[in-house]
Structure 1
Amino acid sequence: MSTSVQQAIAALPVPGEWLWDVVVRPRRRTLGIEVTPDGGVLFAVPADADPAAVADAVRSRLPRLAREVRRRQERPAEPVKDLIGGTSFSYLGSRHRLKVIPPGPSPSREERRVRLYRGWLESPRAETTGDEALRITEWYMTCGDRWLSARLPSLASRIGVTPRPVVARDLGRRWGALERDGSISVHWALMQLPPALVDLVLVHELCHLRVAGHGAAFRREVRLALPGADALERWFADEEPHLWRGAVRSR
């Protein structure tokens, strides 16, 4: 079946330079389109997908898809941090300079933790920059869990769905995920963004509780919950390539 879907898509005016593929996912009920970080395109279809219907859906999305592919291909290199005093880190849109705390002879647990203190992001010096980066990412996850759990109920109420557990964790190349048990995960790196952009990702995942896929019905749900979603999506597209994901330079 995937061969017939591939043939149907190949008959569309898909740019010849695109790298794309079709994968069958039996759990899916609708077409899914994923754009990889390097600009490749993956069309995920259910086992019983109708090739003509898939082709029609892809055709309607080609202009928007072309913009996303171009944006991914032109995105800057992933940010890399120097873990030295004065390096800038963002939390919920506010910038804080890093203060590296030298270890004492027998540092307590309190002295080993990362914290925001008087406008500085204090981080204890570790044996390696990798260990220091891990502590900072864990700090983002811990703060993110608290902030997201407090934020999500009002957004769920706005959409008309039951609030679900939400956590901040490393999602690789994804920004958000609706898990099989109905819980929601967001990438910890999103906690660097202003709250309105984190809300955009939360609303996106909450709307999947009402509508599967990313078609017109789904986009209507998002816009009902966030009337300024179009502007927020453009803002998000500008900001997300610059988010730090944990890469650091060795000392």
Structure 2
Amino acid sequence: MKNVIDVKNLNLTYNANSQKPFYALKDVNLQVTDGDFVAIMGPSGSGKSSLLNVLASLQAPTNGEVLIDDQNIWQLNANQLAKFRGQKLGFIFQEYNLIESLSVFDNIALPLSLAKAPTATIKAAVNHVATLLHLTEQLNKFPSELSGGQKQRVAAARALVHQPKLIFGDEPTGALDSANAREMMNYLSKINAEQHISILMVTHDGFSASFANKIHFLSDGQIVQTLERGNQSRETFYRAVLDFLGTFEE
């Protein structure tokens, strides 16, 4: 199966010319196949956020290659990268990052509005993802009128509305209680399965990670272990994740 992400010998070094350089990422190699759901876990300072930022085109690496949909993103200039990001990538952040002065409809529509899509196209796309994520009754509301779970569903709808190739999640359940976290992960699983959109998610939460098909564990900027769900149920995989975390974090 085709790789939607192909990372080769990726390094990120801070203060590289100083006496005490910090190696945030060290020779990371990673593949995500088309339609896969992958989680990245690891303790604080392991490089999770650095890896996500580099893959999501938000921070340039020191060296190495990041190919997304066969495009080496760090060979693009700033304008090309912005266009690629707007067409191919979706983002879900822990803190929602909604614009308080815009309605739910306009928040969801933002990627298409920035791309100057026709009004009819925007309306159809927003209504489609709002139906998928059970947001049709909230479209005329503003973020201040929503619960945390609803806000995160709006963020997911915004990430999905332009039909990206890949969605990046940065602790997407970090600000949610357990019930809303479960609901959010069920929605992401549905998006992955039914829309065939690849998802790469950074999380500290074993429950959220258990919805993925594969979990990569980072330590000191390197992938040190990978767990694959295979044919296990999510519940069985969750127990395996917890068992592994018990030894990994000791």
TM-score when scaled to structure 1?
0.28
TM-score when scaled to structure 2?
0.28
- Choose between structure 1 and 2: higher strand proportion: 2
Larger Rg: 1
Structure with more relative contact order (C-alpha pairs < 8 Å, separation 6 or more): 2
